[in-house]
Structure 1
Amino acid sequence: MPRIAQPAGSEGSEEPIALLGSLVKAAVLRYLRSNPDVTAGPICDALELGASTIKPILDELAAAGLVIADPPPVEGQSRRGIWIKYRVNDEAVTDLYLRLGMAIGEF
């Protein structure tokens, strides 16, 4: 099986590209920037995507620190029946944006 190509000079670029490497992730962040402290339902409605698509993305963005879930997840505890509100972690998204800009030579 071939390895993933790693071009010269791309050190440190993989994480920001992977974290934001989908239109759905970018759309979720864009929506949350304009509509902080919402549950998954309005996000699904606005993006016209199902919960089975949006919830894993929210979990991934929260695990990466780009989105803040309130209340935060507790390991080993079910979230069933709990309304979780999401908002963008502006500091982390700005850092990601700067790292991505450096990766493509903008900064």
Structure 2
Amino acid sequence: MPRLAQPAGSEDAQDPIALLGNLVKAAILRYLRSNPDVTIGRVCDALELGPTTIQPRLNELEAAGLVIADPPTVAGASRKGVWVKYRTNNEAVTDLYLRLGMAIGEF
């Protein structure tokens, strides 16, 4: 028996829902779309959440290509002492939004 029920025809919705199906991640994307090139501190202040909540989700969004970090994450390298600025990858976010819309029959 599968852990999660997956209705027939829902395959196209799986990635968009997994990436956007979290209120914190959606709020991060919403904030970064209107406030590009900000540090994690600004994101935390705006969303009234701590860095231990925001950072893992920023990392997930960056790994998925939805958020761009400057300087970018380099595997195995530390960014301690570096002010990282984040912005959305607007093309990737729009593509994900359209894929979700198609999956639910909106487009």
Aligned residue for 1:101, secondary structure, equals helix
Equivalenced residue count is: 107
Aligned residue for 2:69, secondary structure, equals strand
1:45 aligns with 2:45: yes
Q: TM-score, normalised to structure 1's length?
A: 0.96
| 2:28 alignment partner in structure 1 | 28
Tell me whether 29-38 or 2-11 shows the greater mean CA deviation.
2-11
| 1:80 alignment partner in structure 2 | 80
CA–CA distance in structure 2, aligned partners of residues 18 and 2 of structure 1? 17
TM-aligned CA deviation for residue 2 of structure 1? 4.1
* Structure 2: runs of 5+ lacking an equivalent: none
CA–CA distance in structure 2, aligned partners of residues 102 and 30 of structure 1? 21
- Conserved? CA contact 2:33–2:87, under 8 Å: yes
* Structure 1: runs of 5+ lacking an equivalent: none
Runs of 4+ that moved beyond 2 A: none
Q: TM-score, normalised to structure 2's length?
A: 0.96
RMSD across aligned C-alpha pairs, in angstroms?
A: 1.0
Q: Which amino acid aligns with 1:39?
A: T
CA–CA distance in structure 1, aligned partners of residues 3 and 103 of structure 2? 20
